[in-house]
Amino acid sequence: KTQIAMDQLHMHFTSAVHNSAYKVVHSFTQHDATKKQYAHLCKNVPESEFIGCLVALCKAMWGIVLSYHQVVNWHRHHNTQELAGDSGNFESSLYEQYVHQKLENGLKRLWHDTQTRVSALFLAADLTHYKFDEFLRLLAVVHRLEQIGEEFCGSESEELQNCVRAQSSNYFKRYHTARLDELRIFLENEVWTPCPVRDDFSLLHLQEFRGLRNSLQQYAGVSPVQVPSRGSGSLDGSSVGGSFFTRFTTSDSPFDSCPDIEWRVRSVISYVKYIL
């Protein structure tokens, strides 16, 4: 009975991931009534709705992952109480060990299903025409999901990293090409006059780069600044106390806040470093 119950529990969570993902994405495809495969639905999400769809999908996945985390924690606490109250009951101890092992094994499997659903949506979109700030927001959302995965089961979320790498490469190839074309036109038509500057002039003195000063200094080796690592910072780059699973609930998800622009720049620079 225990084995059947555990198998049904895992099937329930797996079904919840697939059904919730389908429902969320379907709601953004202009309410197409025809039954389609999930991958096809992802390709039909309008460009103007994609960011909202990705955030909504991550929120839905967060609710399922949080529920599983709570189930695991309940059994851990229950197991501790049982062992403390009746250390001589071998059958009860064996039962608890079996349940604990099944739940622990289910962590990575559930996270794999979560990654698959989110990655399919992220890869289905053509992000090359998005504004730079919008693209940074997408990276920040996926990065937060990666942080949750590491806390949830210690996963590096390689599938999410691979899809981010692919989309980032496509985006910056087009972005650089477009900027080079603009620069060529500008250089060909502009009248240039030498501008006197101080001997110690630096790019960081320009007002246009003031908001990026910390990031530019860090990667130029001027003044090392610690970049938020996985699980060490919030979506907006600020320091947070406690874990995602103690700070957020299903009604107050980690994807509700808006990323801070400087942190998003740091995030995209870190991604660019491993795609170039």
Say what the pLDDT of residue 263 is.
Answer: 52
146 contacts 159 by C-beta, under 8 angstroms:
no
pTM: 0.73
Q: How many residues would you count in the chain? A: 276
Give the tokens for residue 190: 């502009």
> Where do we find the tokens 């606490």?
77
pLDDT in tens, 144-167: 999 999 999 999 999 999 999 999
For residues 26-31, average pLDDT = 83
> In degrees, to the nearest 5, what angle opens at C-alpha 122 toward C-alphas 250 and 35?
80
Say what the pLDDT of residue 33 is.
Answer: 58
pLDDT in tens, 66-123: 999 999 988 877 765 555 555 556 566 677 777 888 888 899 999 999 999 999 999 9
Neighbour-count burial of 256, counting CB atoms closer than 10 A to its CB (0-12 exposed, 13-18 middle, 19+ buried):
exposed
pLDDT in tens, 239-264: 344 589 888 876 788 998 755 444 55
